[in-house]
A and B are shown apart, each in its own frame.
Chain A
Amino acid sequence: MNHLAPLAVAVPIIAAGVLAATASVASRRLADIVAVLTAAASTTLCAILLAHSGHHQVVYWFGGWQPRSGIAVGIAFAVDPLGAGLATFAGLIVCVALVFSWRHLETISHVYHALMLVFLAGMVGFCLTGDLFNLFVFFELLSTAAYALVGYKIDQRAPLEGSLNFAITNSLGAIMVLFGISLLYGRTGALNMAQIGHSLAQQPADGLVVAAFTLLVAGFFIKAAVVPFHFWLADAYSVAPTPVCAVLSAVMSELGLYAVVRIWWSCFHGAFGDHEDALRAILVVAGTITALIPAVLCFAQTHLKRMLAYATVSYIGLFLIGVGLLTHDALGGTAVYLVADGFVKASLFVCVGIIQHRRASVDEYRLHGRGRDMPFTGAMFAIGGLALASLPPFGTFLGKSLVEDAAVKEGYGWVIVVFILASAITGAAVLRSAGRVFLGLGPEGESEPAFEVDEETETETGDDEGRRRTPFVMFLPVIALLAGGLAMGLIPRLPQAALRGAAALQDQAAYVAAVLHGAAGSVPHLPAPPPPTGLDYLYGALSSVGALVLAAAALFRERLPALVPRPVANGAGAAVRAVRELNSGRVGDYVAWIVAGVTVFGAAFSLTLL
């Protein structure tokens, strides 16, 4: 059984190599089929691992280098339910994105498929590994594939620049991670995460451990796009080919948070466990800022992909609050929330891809009323918007309720307001564009496009004939993704399983015993969390109705009596413009923000963790 773990990574890498090597002889359709089948195979392997890790930790030592008397020399995959679950989810989204690419990207070569498979292999390895340096290598592998995919349409300015900003900031993040790993290796002489955690817990923590923690967390926060490390994300996600956007937005950003969870519970918890309250406060505050500011920017956007990019950042903030609460019920709830939201966001990106395919534009004002003859896409887009605003019974509602209940238990009841605001505002942005594009509501307006991308070149269908109707193979992914988001809220024993997985991830002693001493270990039995209460439904209704009201207010601004005094409205407008201008598109500015962010986090950690 354990031997399946490396196969989940090896299969897509080998297939990618074969696809790249046979690019000149194999047909496009063959590449499509091989890529989807490979991704499906990897997903199946991850799902099998997920099923088995539900009973005990699955540990695989490469080359048979088992630890001797509790000292690890080799490299291990250590699979627990949350890691395997995230890997399975990544595989599913890549499958769907590859299916959507069949018709959406007509002029791509086999290199695209190969890159997608390498990207998948990197993400799966990242989720399964139990070795810190191995984690870094998979981090770089998935990032490099992602840089190349974002810049796939390299003949245009915007993708080139988006890819450059993405690559430079994320490479800096990777270097910081490596600095942190080096310091930890210098202190503990170990690279295995269980070994590092065991060793750090034996000695008092000092400045060096805090420095290593800061560098690792900041590096992964750059990938996760936590404010103020988030600037690259909007640039990259708004220019990547739409199927790639779906993967980036649904899985890749979230992997940064997964890494922070993994290193905290496996490596640092033993050393800093006494200061949990301080860390909780820091992470919840960082999450709140990351949830709210990008939500406003999301609402201010008319470029549909850029709007969804800011929604992604906003949700990263909510997930950061969830994992930052540092309890198993909050982490389990976040896992449900993250997967459900990933399905919904991917479905929204796919809807945007369909609009782009038919109308060759992704700007809300330019598309005004031009989606009237696409009722099905419009309905799906609007449902996705409501799901983003956590409408019951979608999985986003269930996950949000679980995290909110956990927050109340920890005395952080006020974050419920943040959850409602962020989900209502991002949902409202989607609903407003749905109203404008598919129903032609609201006055026509002039957009101030952030940048011009020649949309024609992304979907080269050739003639207008192909654009008159949407191929069924493009609808299929939307239906599948929305169904996934709905299923996350309806599968009866899912919350309990997620909570058990979270408890297993947080049990450092059991992790060390399983990895270093080969103990079978068992996943703890926990009671099922209580189903959502009336209060939870009220919060869900508040965010869903709030989203509708806000969207309507934005669409019919002219007809509203002036509820807000003019000076206040002008002031707010100026503030939003000022925040928008921070995202200057200049990579030098972004790097300066990264330095500032690392300094702030470093100062906060050294003041509270020592």
Chain B
Amino acid sequence: MSFLPYAVAAWLFGVGIYGVATSRNLIHLVVCLTVVQSGTYILLLAIGYVGAGKAPIFADIPLNSKVVDPVVQTLTLTDVVVEATVVALLLALAMQAEKRFGTLDPDELGVMRS
């Protein structure tokens, strides 16, 4: 297993957080959050990868075949579902901001002080 997927996961984590911290547009910000989350998908799949392993579906392969770890795939799937919920909620909030207050800039929205 090469080092590359881990580097990609770390890069996505870092660059996504940078995006979230500096974003001036709520839609862009939510997309940056999904970039951070994508880091977890890559990391999970990289951890479960087995060199030359097949997909863990035993319908048409012999039972003793070498397969990749199915657990991380279910974790990733669960993660995708969870994230879809959160992103849907965040995008709904962003749409409300645009509709009612005419701005998507989190700084312009800002009413909270100290």
Q: What is A's interface to B at a CB cutoff of 8 Å?
A: 133, 137, 140, 143-144, 147-148, 151, 154-155, 157-158, 160-165, 167-168, 171-172, 174-175, 178-179, 182-183, 185-186, 191, 234-235, 297, 450-452, 577, 580-581, 583-588, 591-592, 595
Decide if A168 touches B43 in the complex (CB within 8 Å): no
Q: Which of B50-58, B59-67, B85-93 forms contacts with chain A? A: B85-93
Q: List 30 A-B contacts (CB under 8 A).
A: A133-B75, A154-B96, A155-B96, A155-B100, A160-B101, A160-B109, A161-B106, A162-B112, A163-B93, A167-B90, A167-B93, A168-B90, A171-B90, A174-B86, A175-B13, A175-B39, A182-B47, A185-B71, A234-B112, A450-B113, A450-B114, A451-B111, A451-B112, A452-B111, A580-B114, A581-B113, A583-B114, A585-B112, A586-B110, A587-B20
Please give, as numbers and ranges, the residues of chain A lying within 8 Å of B29 by CB-CB distance: 168, 587
Q: Considering the chains assembled together, what is the distance between the CA atoms of A86 and B13 in angstroms?
A: 33
Decide yes or no: A171 and B106 within 8 Å by CB, A182-B44, A235-B112, A452-B111 being known contacts: no
Residues A182 and B37 in contact, CB atoms below 8 Å apart = no
* A183→B75 CA distance, assembly (Å): 13
Interface of A is mostly: helix
Q: Which residue of A lies closest to B74 (CB)?
A: A133
B78 touching A137, Cβ below 8 Å: yes
Q: How far is the CA of A160 from the CA of B110 in the complex (A)?
A: 10
A-B residue pairs, 6 tightest by C-beta:
A585-B112, A580-B114, A186-B47, A591-B21, A451-B111, A585-B110
* List of B residues within 8 angstroms of A297 by Cβ: 114
In the assembled complex, the Cα of A583 lies from the Cα of B82 at a distance in Å of 29
Are A144 and B113 within 8 A (Cβ)? no
The chain A residue sitting closest to B85, CB to CB, is A144
Q: Does the CB pair A161–B17 fall under 8 Å?
A: no
Min CB gap B10→A, angstroms = 9
Q: Are A144 and B89 in contact (CB-based, < 8 A)? A: yes
Which residue of B20, B26, B111 is within 8 Å of A158 (Cβ)?
A: B111
Compute how far the CA of A163 lies from the CA of B112 in the bound complex, rounded to whole angstroms: 12
Number of interface residues of B (CB under 8 A): 40
Distance, CA A592 to CA B18, complexed state (A) = 8
- CB neighbours of A171 from chain B (8 A): 33, 86, 90
Q: How far is the CA of A167 from the CA of B88 in the complex (A)?
A: 11
A586→B107 contact, CB < 8 A: yes
Given contacts A158-B112, A163-B93, A450-B112, 19 further A-B contacts (CB under 8 A): A133-B75, A140-B86, A158-B111, A160-B93, A160-B96, A161-B110, A164-B93, A168-B90, A182-B44, A182-B75, A234-B112, A451-B111, A577-B114, A585-B112, A586-B106, A586-B110, A591-B20, A592-B21, A595-B21
- The answer to whether B97 has its CB under 8 Å from any CB of chain A is yes
- From B37, B47, B112, residue with most partner A Cβ within 10 Å: B112
A300 and B62 alpha carbons, distance in the complex (Å): 70
CB distance from B106 to the nearest CB of A (A): 5
Given contacts A137-B82, A144-B86, A595-B17, contact A588 B40 (CB under 8 A): no
Q: Does B22 contact A (CB under 8 A)?
A: yes
The verdict on A175 contacting B37 (CB below 8 Å), with A157-B101, A168-B20, A168-B90 known, is yes
- Residues of chain B within 8 A of A163, CB atoms compared: 93
Which residues on the B side are within 8 Å of A158 (C-beta)? Answer: 111-112
On whether the beta carbons of A588 and B90 are closer than 8 Å, the reply is no
B36 within 8 A of A: yes
Q: How far is the CA of A164 from the CA of B37 in the complex (A)?
A: 17
- Specify which chain A residues have a CB less than 8 angstroms from the CB of B78 in the assembled complex: 133, 137
